[in-house]
Amino acid sequence: MRRLERVRRRFGFDRNELRRPVDRRQWTVGVGAAVLFAGLAPPASAVLAVQAYRTGVAAERQQAANHRVDARVTGTAAQDGAGVRHTYAELAWTYPDGRPHTAVVPADRSVKPGMSHRIWVDASGSLVRAPRTHADTVATTAASATLAVTVVGLPLLAGYLLARRRCDRRREALWDENWAALASS
């Protein structure tokens, strides 16, 4: 019980006569910011997380038909520019229905013609990125929820810190007035 009483006093939930109006204003702003954060952050986080998860799962399902194939490097080309060298490889592969496909992709300098390279293709046999994994979806969901909490919390924190700064200035002015009154008596 004593510990709870100490915590209650520490956070200003008492009727201490030594607290000045400026202290009570700062306490009110702090409690208001905490209540707003507690009321706004969870729903915003949940809405954004649900939307990110649904979008991610839909992308996973859409990309489920993509699969890996072995492509052969048929040639390489280098392009030199202002201090930068880009290397490209031409890939060729045959789709299961027998149609040949080719694509030019950025490559490592170590890639040589005749090498095998694993790539992802879609249902039409066109080159695509690797499909989205469920881990990607979960990570995006977590990042979205964290972003929502941050977007809600930062303005409230900034508002509280601004109010606290103003209250600190007022407290310093009151101290100066009290010291001046004490010195003149």
In this predicted model, what pLDDT tens digit does every residue of 71-119 receive, in sequence order?
999 988 888 777 677 888 899 988 777 788 888 888 887 888 889 888 8
pLDDT at 4 over 80: yes
- The mean-pLDDT minimum among 13-22, 43-52, 150-159 falls in 13-22
Strand blocks (E) in 44-180:
67-81, 84-94, 100-106, 116-121, 127-128
CA-wise closest residue to 141 among 44, 56, 28, 38: 56
Q: How far apart are CA 148 and CA 154, in angstroms?
A: 10
pLDDT at 145 over 90: yes
Query: Which residues are CB-contacts of 123 (< 8 A; sequence separation ≥ 6)?
Result: 65, 66
- Could you state, in order of their start, the residue ranges of all structural domains in the chain? 20-61+134-177, 67-128
Cα-based distances in Å from 113 to 51, 72, 86, 107, 162 = 45, 8, 16, 12, 64
Q: How many residues does the chain have?
A: 185
Q: What is the pLDDT of residue 138?
A: 97
Q: What is the pLDDT of residue 122?
A: 84
pLDDT in tens, 52-78: 999 999 999 999 888 888 899 998 888
